[in-house]
């Protein structure tokens, strides 16, 4: 564990994660070990390896919001949108201000068809990042899933005003037009 801490202080996170893993095999009850291991693995971008120690740390300390955020992001970076949404759920009443976390959480909520909560998260993200086309795009997707097509189109247009070369925004705008039986507009968006 001490060797892992020294490696982590020198930003050698992959070696640190391996040393913490070895420490866990020898003495799993060592205080702070799973937090250290999960953080080192996360910083080494070994997200799938970060999940087990972060899960253990969160189970032992459910109020550790930093670990909860790292675990949610690790799930997201492993395309486990259900677990991402689940582990970040306690933040719903007071979401953190981290734009990366909010984007990952909102995206996971969209992917798991929890559009109302996704809209809430993206609104908060939008308040902080009004000029980010990706935020407008995902908010448009959340509105489209709720069949609120006018707001969906508005958000897709906002994304395209910021970045006119965002092909996904054109594609989803086309899908909304198809659902509204506006075939000419849909065709134009698909061409774009």
User: How wide is the angle at C-alpha 112 spanned by C-alphas 62 and 106, nearest 5°?
Assistant: 65
Q: How far apart are CA 106 and CA 29, in angstroms?
A: 35
Are 101 and 92 in contact, with CB atoms under 8 Å apart?
Answer: no
Could you tell me the CA-to-CA distances from 36 to 29, 67, 140 in Å, in that order? 13, 10, 38
Residue 65: other Cβ atoms inside 10 A: 14
Q: What is the mean pLDDT of residues 96-108?
A: 86
Sign of CA pseudo-dihedral 40, 41, 42, 46: positive
At 22-60, the pLDDT tens digits run 999 999 999 999 999 999 999 999 999 999 999 999 999
**Range among 59-73, 99-113, 123-137, 143-157 with highest mean pLDDT value:** 59-73
Residue 64: other Cβ atoms inside 10 A: 15
Record the pTM. 0.73
Are 89 and 118 in contact, with CB atoms under 8 Å apart?
Answer: no
At 55-92, the pLDDT tens digits run 999 999 999 999 999 999 999 999 999 999 999 999 98
Position 97 scores a pLDDT of: 81
Q: What is the mean pLDDT of residues 141-151?
A: 83
Are 47 and 25 in contact, with CB atoms under 8 Å apart?
Answer: no
* pLDDT at residue 96 greater than cutoff 90: no
Are 38 and 70 in contact, with CB atoms under 8 Å apart?
Answer: yes
pLDDT band for position 137 (cuts 50, 70, 90): confident
DSSP 8-state secondary structure symbol assigned to residue 1: -
Q: What is the mean pLDDT of residues 88-102?
A: 87
pLDDT, averaged across the chain: 90
Percent above pLDDT 90 for the chain: 60
pLDDT band for position 131 (cuts 50, 70, 90): confident
Position 128 scores a pLDDT of: 80
Position 35 scores a pLDDT of: 95
Helix axes 167-179, 183-191, angle to 10 degrees: 170
């Amino acid at each position: 564990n001490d060797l892992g801490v020294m490696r982590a202080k020198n930003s050698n996170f992959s070696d640190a994660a391996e040393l913490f893993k070895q420490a866990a095999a020898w003495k799993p009850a060592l205080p702070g070990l799973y937090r250290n291991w999960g953080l080192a693995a996360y910083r080494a971008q070994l997200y799938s390896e970060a999940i087990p120690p972060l899960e253990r740390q969160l189970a032992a300390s459910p109020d550790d919001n930093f670990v909860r955020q790292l675990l949610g992001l690790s799930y997201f970076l492993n395309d486990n949108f259900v677990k991402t949404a689940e582990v970040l759920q306690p933040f719903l009443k007071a979401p953190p201000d981290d734009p990366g976390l909010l984007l990952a959480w909102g995206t996971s909520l969209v992917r798991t068809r929890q559009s109302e909560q996704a809209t809430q998260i993206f609104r908060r993200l939008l308040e902080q990042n009004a000029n980010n086309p990706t935020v407008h795009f995902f908010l448009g997707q959340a509105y489209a899933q709720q069949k609120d097509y006018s707001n969906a189109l508005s958000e897709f247009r906002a994304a395209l005003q910021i970045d006119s070369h965002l092909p996904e925004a054109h594609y989803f705008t086309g899908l909304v037009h198809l659902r509204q039986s506006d075939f000419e507009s849909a065709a134009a968006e698909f061409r774009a």
